[in-house]
Each structure stands twice: as structure tokens, then as C-alpha cells.
Amino acid sequence: MARSGIIGGVVAALVIAGAVLGVVLVWRPAIAAIDPPSPQSFAPELVKRGRELAALGNCNDCHTVRGGKNFAGGLPVPTPFGTIFSTNITPDAETGIGRWSEGAFRRAMRLGVDRQGRHLYPTFPYDHFTNVTDEDDRALYAYLMTREPVVAAARPNQLRFPFNQRVVIAGWKLLFLHRETYHPDATKSAEWNRGAYLVEGLAHCGACHTPRNALGAERTKVAFSGGEADDWSAYAINTKSPAPVAWDADALDFYLRNGWHPDHGTARGPMAQVVKNLAAVPASDVHAIAVYMADVFGVPHAARDRAAVVAEARSGVGRAPDSEGAAIFAAACASCHDSGRPPPYGGINLALSSAPSAPDPRNLVNIVLAGVRPVEGERSPIMPGFAGTMNDQQIAVLVNYLRSRFTSQPPWGGFEKTIEEARRTQTAYLTTSAAPTSAPASATQRDKP
Ligand code: HEC
Ligand code: HEC
Ligand code: HEC
């Protein structure tokens, strides 16, 4: 008792000392406000470069509300600790970043501190942006400062105590923010290094694809092992990939540029937004990302080629033939999937899809409920949603059938909650997919320099 009391006291003292030290160590001063620079003061070339970098960083996805003004902020970002609202990053002097110097902007990108010296929540993925070079930050700044200024005050965050205290972020940073510039790996090609710089930094692929710990930080030791994004699971994109056919650099390059691949299907949900943004990025950068990611995926397993996967699926056609699931599949799905019509307008053989073979059924349920649509503005869906025509029990039966028919994985079981949740949270994301309607160029960036 006495002993644990002493230990408790020591621990408490250490915690307090640590907190004080933490605050002192990470205290940041305000950076003087400037008069908003004139848009003409930025070289057009720099602004153009900044536009490409902003697309790589998905800045618009978080800082633009659907149907709202570009970069005016206000998007609610749900976290396990409450809801954080993105801020206005247009050059409006009062409500945006118009009075931020380039130095203040760079500090925000590297250290997650605003101009006034307040710590920013890592929902803003500065744990990745911290590696961005001076040059690239300059271009991003030039791009943002030449956007249309929008008057839009920040919405107050809705966070529980103690997470609503920004000083808590200081402690988080001590633990998890490791400011580092990118160190090229001399044993790899220039293209690989370019890809690594982008994937680990501005493109922040791991923000969705890496699992997080209880404090919301990425578990970097298991980077790319699969994470969550909105109401989707972001599959593992490393050696743990659930993809029945192994991803290689060519497939990645095609998928990232077009939003689909004949051996893998289409990008949906948050990934559709990522691909849409990549359409505004130089092809060489997308290729570099593909080269680096192919290395992260590892050496393809020889047995996992398309022909083998499809042949195996076909040989399993009779599996559970009289079941209710088989009947639903035959009536509702079979005519389109593996009809011989190529994707994105023909559905792929589901034995090729990561959706039935993933560790959880979330994406499969999302797709069955909401269907798949081409890019925004297109009227007809390319796959209808079944939310209105199937009840939860039928969806569960179908999902179980797809798992046993198209994969050799054990049944999921106990996912009634997933179906309920997916029905509830059919978010705006469910209405779009990156499947292009014509050339990839049709997937437009929301604005031009
Ligand atoms: C995953 C969502 C997300 C992405 C992607 C994102 N941001 Fe943010 N950003 C936020 C959120 C949320 C905040 C507010 C954080 C807070 O209030 O502490 C924020 C804050 C900021 C701030 C501080 C603004 C202020 O007024 O304090 C800047 C600057 C910024 N972001 C720039 C960018 C840029 C540039 C990009 C793209 C390279 C980007 N963000 C991408 C979510 C995002
Ligand atoms: C905002 C979150 C988010 C970001 C950022 C993101 N992804 Fe994804 N990604 C997802 C989700 C969610 C899926 C699953 C989508 C689906 O079911 O179609 C996905 C799917 C994928 C797939 C398909 C995997 C498979 O087996 O079918 C690949 C490959 C991929 N992402 C690569 C990347 C790369 C490379 C980057 C960085 C350039 C990236 N992602 C950034 C959320 C994200
Ligand atoms: C009218 C045609 C059509 C019908 C009917 C249809 N689909 Fe689809 N489905 C598509 C198309 C087109 C795509 C997009 C290409 C792709 O990804 O396979 C798609 C995509 C999918 C995907 C994602 C595959 C991937 O990883 O990219 C799944 C899973 C899926 N459908 C399941 C089903 C199920 C289950 C049913 C029956 C309840 C069904 N579909 C009915 C046309 C259809």
C-alpha cells in the first residue's frame, strides 16, 4: 500500500514534470501578421507547380465542403475523440490565411502550429507533410495565396475533455511527430526515391492505409497494413494485401491514373477522391509513386496471377449451388460480373476483387448497398445499389456466399452491425467512384490556377 503510494507519487511527479517540460519544449511564438501579398507577386510557374502539389496532398478534399467554396474549410472530420472542422485556407485576411507569411505556412506544414502559435490537430496530416521541401512548400503557398479569398470563419471543434485542450497536442507531438526531411536511399533509383518522398510525405497514403494506435497516431512499424477512412476500410497495401492478384508497378500506375484496373476493379469512396486528384498530377510523379509502392507490396507471388485466380473461381461455380446466397447472386449480380464486358462498365469476376477477400466485409457491404457510380455529374450508375431492394438478412446471406464462393478465407461471421452501420452512414462518398467516363483527363481538379 505505502509502496504503491510512493510509486504513485513518483509517477504523478514525473507526469507533471513531463507535461511542464513538454509545454516548454514545444511552446511556439506567434509569427507576425503580414499584409496579404498580391496574387501578381507569385510567378505563374510556381503557382502551377503548387496546384499539382495541392492535388497530391488532397488539400481540397478536407478543406472544401461539398458544394462549398474551394478551400474555405468547414468540413467535419470525425475522429475517435470528437469532430474536428477543417479551416479556411483561402487568402482571406480575417478568416483565412491571408496574413500568414510563407514562414508561417511552412511552420504549419512541418510542425502543425498555426500563425498565432497554437498547436493544430494532426487530422491535418502534418506528420506526413513535415518532410516537404522548402521549394515545394513555397509552391503550395503561392498556389493557396492566389486562390479566391473566401470569408468563412472556422467552426468550433466538438471534442471531449481533455482532447479539446490544444496543449494535449504538444504531448502527442513529442511522442509521434518526428520532423525529418527526406533522406534519399542511395541504393535505389531516382524514381523510387521520388515516389518514397511523395508517398511518405505530401500524398500521405499511410494516413488511411496504416493502422492507428489508441492515441490516433499511425503505427509506423506496421505501415500500410490496412487502416480506415471515413466508413471504408483502406486495404493493406503491403505484403498483407488481400488482392487475389498481386499488384505490380504497371497495375498501380494504371489504377492510380484511371481509377480502375482489369485485374483489380475500381477505386471507390475516399480512394476515388485520391485518384481524381492524381489526374492533375504529372504522369511521372504518379509513376514514381507506383514504383515505390510496388516495392512496398513486395515481390509478386507466382501463383497469384489472373488466369489462375479466375480459373479457380470458375471451377468453384457449383459451390453451394442451391443455397439462398447462390440464388440471390444469380438473380442480382451474375449477369454483370464476369459478363465479358471489360471494367469499369463491366463488373469484374469477383474472385479478382479485394472486397470479398479483405479481413472485414465493410467495403463489400458498402458496394452492395450503394452500387458504383462513375465520376460526379454522370447520371447513370455503372452498378445499381441494392439498399432499397434487399433487406439486411438477404445482404448477410449474399455476403457470406460471396466470401465462400470467391475466396478461400474463413467466413466473417457476426457482421450484422456492419450492415446496420453501412446503411446509416451512406455518406456523400458513396455516390462517387473514380471510374472515368472517358479519358482520365475528364476527372477534373476542382479549380484551375
Ligand atoms: C485529412 C484532412 C486534411 C488534409 C488532407 C489537409 N488538411 Fe489542412 N487541416 C485539416 C484540419 C482538420 C485542420 C484544422 C486543424 C485544427 O483545427 O487544429 C487543418 C489545418 C490546416 C492549416 C492551418 C490553418 C489555420 O487557419 O490554422 C493549414 C495551413 C492547412 N491545413 C493546409 C493544408 C494543405 C496545404 C493541405 C494539402 C497539402 C492540407 N491542409 C491537407 C485537415 C486536412
Ligand atoms: C483518404 C484515404 C486514402 C488515401 C489518402 C489513400 N487511400 Fe488508397 N484506398 C483507400 C480506401 C478506402 C481504399 C478501398 C477503396 C475501395 O474499396 O475501392 C483504397 C484502395 C487502394 C488500393 C486498392 C487496393 C486493392 O487491393 O484493391 C490501392 C492500390 C491504394 N489504395 C493505393 C493508395 C496509394 C498509393 C495512396 C497514396 C498515393 C493511397 N492509396 C491513398 C483510402 C485512401
Ligand atoms: C448492372 C451491372 C451490375 C450489377 C447488376 C451488379 N454489378 Fe457489381 N459492379 C458492376 C460494375 C460495372 C462494377 C465496377 C467494375 C468493377 O469494379 O468490377 C461493379 C463493381 C462491383 C464490386 C467491386 C469490385 C472491385 O473490387 O472493384 C463488387 C464487390 C460488386 N460489384 C458486387 C456486386 C454484387 C454482390 C452484385 C449483386 C448484388 C452486383 N455487384 C451487381 C456492375 C454490376
Read off the pLDDT of residues 7-65 as tens digits, 9 standing for 90 and up: 656 666 656 666 666 666 667 899 999 999 999 999 999 999 999 999 999 999 999 99
From 336, 338, 386, mutation site for ligand 3 pocket: most ligand atoms within 8 A of C-beta: 336
Q: What is the pLDDT of residue 179?
A: 86
Band of residue 319 on the pLDDT scale cut at 50, 70, 90: low
Which residue has its alpha carbon closest to ligand 2 atom 31?
271
Ligand nearest to the CA of 346: 3
Q: How confident is the model at residue 376 (pLDDT cuts 50, 70, 90)?
A: low
In the reported structure, the alpha carbon of residue 272 is separated from the centroid of ligand 3 by a whole-number distance in angstroms of: 16
pLDDT recorded at residue 437: 34
Counting ligands in written order, the one closest to the CA of 168 is 1
Task: Give mean pLDDT, residues 120-143.
Answer: 97
CA of 323 to the centre of ligand 3 (A): 20
The pLDDT tens digits of the residues spanning 101-130 come to 999 999 999 999 999 999 999 999 999 999
Residue with CA at minimum distance from ligand 1 atom 30: 89
| Pocket of ligand 2 contains residue 326 by CB under 6 Å | no
Ligand 2 contacts CB of residue 22 (under 6 A): no
Q: Residue of the nearest CA to atom 13 in ligand 1?
A: 86
Phi, psi dihedrals of residue 234, rounded to the nearest 5°: -95, 105
Tell me the torsion sign for CA atoms 335, 341, 342, 346: negative
DSSP character string of 356-409: HHSSSSHHHHHHHHH-B--STT--S-SB---TTT--HHHHHHHHHHHHHHH--S
Q: What secondary structure does DSSP assign to 79-104, as a single string?
A: ETTEEEE----S--TTTSSTT--HHH
**pLDDT value of residue 446:** 31
pLDDT tens digits for 334-362? 999 977 777 778 889 999 999 999 999 99
pLDDT-derived band of residue 380, with 50, 70 and 90 as boundaries? low
Percentage, residues of the chain above pLDDT 70: 84
Residues 6+ apart with CB under 8 A from 74: 65, 68, 85, 86, 88, 152, 154, 155
Three-state secondary-structure class, residue 117: coil
351 lines ligand 3 (CB under 6 A): no
Closest CA to ligand 3's atom 41: 333
- 364 C-beta closer than 6 A to ligand 3: yes
Pocket of ligand 1, beta carbon within 6 A: 54, 57-59, 61-63, 77, 84, 86-87, 89, 97, 105, 108, 114, 120-121, 123-125, 140, 202
Ligand 3 close to Cβ of residue 372 (< 6 A): yes
- Indicate if ligand 3 lies below 6 Å from the C-beta of 99: no
How many CA atoms, within 13 angstroms, populate the side-chain half-sphere of residue 66? 8
**Domains along the sequence of the chain with CATH:** 23-176 (no CATH), 190-302 (1.10.760.10), 318-431 (1.10.760)
Q: Is the C-beta atom of 286 inside 6 A of ligand 2?
A: no
Is the C-beta atom of 196 inside 6 A of ligand 3?
no
* CA-247 nearest atom, ligand 2: 29
pTM of the model: 0.90
Give residue 432's pLDDT band: very low, low, confident or very high (50, 70, 90): very low
Q: What is the number of the ligand closest to the CA of 142?
A: 1
Give residue 342 CA to ligand 3 midpoint distance, Å.
12
What span, in angstroms and rounded, lies between the C-alpha atoms of 250 and 252? 5
Statement: residue 317 has pLDDT above 90 = no
pLDDT tens string 194-204: 999 999 999 99
Ligand nearest to the CA of 244: 2
Distance separating alpha carbons of residues 266 and 294, to the nearest angstrom? 18
Q: Are 236 and 244 in contact (CB under 8 A)?
A: no
- Please report, rounded to a whole number, the percentage of residues in the chain having pLDDT higher than 90: 68
Instruction: Kindly state if the Cβ of 268 falls inside 6 Å of ligand 2.
Output: yes
Residues in the chain: 449
The pLDDT value given to residue 305: 75
Q: Mean of the per-residue pLDDT values for the chain?
A: 87
pLDDT at 2 over 60: no
66 or 75, which is more confident: 75
Q: Which atom of ligand 3 is nearest to the CA of 435?
A: 14
> What one-character-per-residue DSSP string does 176-214 give?
H---------TTS-HHHHHHHHHHHTTT-THHHHS-B-T
Question: C-alpha angle with apex 54: 49 to 60, nearest 5 degrees?
Answer: 145
Q: Is the CB of 352 under 6 A from ligand 2?
A: no
Q: Which of 328, 337, 345 is nearest to 437 (CA)?
A: 345
Cα(234) to centroid(ligand 2), Å: 6
Q: Say how far apart CA 125 and CA 234 lie, in whole Å.
A: 16
pLDDT band for 438, please (50, 70, 90 cuts): very low
Residue 431 clears pLDDT 90, i.e. is over it: no
